Amino acid sequence: MAISQSSIYLLMTLSQTIGGNIPTPIKFHAIRGDEKELQSALAVTELDDFALIQRTAQGDETALGALYDRYGRLVLSVAYGVVQNRETAEEVTLDIFTRAWEKAHTYDPQQAKVSTWLTRMARNRAIDRLRREKVRPFHHSVHWSDVIAEPVTESNQPETAVHLSLEQQRVRAAVASLPPAQQEALALAYFQGYSHSEIAQALDQPLGTVKGRIRAGMQKLRALLGDG
C-alpha cells in the first residue's frame, strides 16, 4: 500500500470540506455516475435525522429532500395552525427548510430533536409573520386536530413515519381529553403566541380563569405525555 489510511482520510475530509459530495468513505471509488446517485438517494431514506442534518450541512440536496419528506407536512401544519392560510403557510415552510439548508451546521443535537428544531422554528417564524402582517385570525378558527385514526402501517412506510404517526395519535388523544375551554386557551397560546392577558381579552374571560385553564391544561398534558 502506497499511502497510509490516515493520509487518505485527511485528503477526503479536506475535499469534503471544500465541497466534495462523497457519500461514504468506503464506497467512494466503487460507485460511479447514475449508480452513485441511486445509491445515495436510497441511502438517505435509511439515515437517522442527525445524519441527514450533517449531510445537509455538507450541501447534500438529497438529504434536505429526505428531511422535507419526513417533516414537511408537520412543519406546514404548524405554520398553517398559526397563519390559517395555505399560501402563507407554504411560504413559511419553504422558509424553514431553506433555513435548515443554510443553518444545518448550527443544529445542536444536545438542544433539541431535529423535528423539534424545525417545528420550533416554524412556530416562531409563523407567529413573527402573523404579527408583522397584523392579521389575527378569528380565534374560533384556531384549534387542535381532531383525533382521527389514520392508517399508520402501510407496509412500505419508513420506520420514522410510523413512529411519527403513532406519536401524533398519542398527543392528539391527550389534547382531546382536555376540557374544551382548556384546549381553546392552549391553542391561542401555542398558535397565536398570545400572553395570558391577550387570551383573557380574546375569550372575554377573567385573567385568573385563563391562568387556571392554562396551568391545569399543561399539568394534565404533562401527566399524560410524560412517560413517552
Partner 1 sequence: MHNENHDHIIELIPAYALGVLDADESAVVIQHLGGCTACRAELAAYESVVDALPLAAPQIDPSPALKERLLEQIQASPAPKTAVPPASPWQRSIADYIQEFLAGPRWQPALALAVIVLLAGAFFIWQQAGPTPLNQVELTATDAAPDAHGLIAIAANGRDATLTVAGLPALPPEKQYQLWLIEDGQRDSGAVFSVNADGSADVTVDSERPLTEYSAFGVTIEPAGGSPGPTGERVLGHNL
- Our CB check for partner 1 shows the closer of 22 and 181 to be 22
DSSP 8-state secondary structure symbol assigned to residue 105 = G
Q: Residue 49 Cβ, how far from partner 1 at the closest point, in Å?
A: 14
- Our CB check for partner 1 shows the closer of 49 and 60 to be 60
Cell of 49: 435525522
Q: Residue 125 Cβ, how far from partner 1 at the closest point, in Å?
A: 8
In whole angstroms, how far apart are CA 207 and each of 1, 28, 143, 151, 210?
A: 76, 63, 20, 41, 5
Cell 394534565 found at: 220
CA distance 89 to 86: 5
Q: How do the residues of the chain divide into helix, strand and coil, expressed in percent and rounded to 5? A: 70, 0, 30
Q: Is 4 helix (H, G, I), strand (E, B) or coil?
A: coil
Cell 396551568 found at: 215
- Our CB check for partner 1 shows the closer of 5 and 155 to be 5
- Our CB check for partner 1 shows the closer of 28 and 47 to be 28
CA distance 64 to 39: 16
Q: Residue 48 Cβ, how far from partner 1 at the closest point, in Å?
A: 18
Q: Residue 36 Cβ, how far from partner 1 at the closest point, in Å?
A: 10
Q: Residue 95 Cβ, how far from partner 1 at the closest point, in Å?
A: 8
- Our CB check for partner 1 shows the closer of 48 and 222 to be 222
Q: Residue 149 Cβ, how far from partner 1 at the closest point, in Å?
A: 13
- Our CB check for partner 1 shows the closer of 112 and 162 to be 112
In whole angstroms, how far apart are CA 173 and each of 177, 211, 225?
A: 6, 23, 10
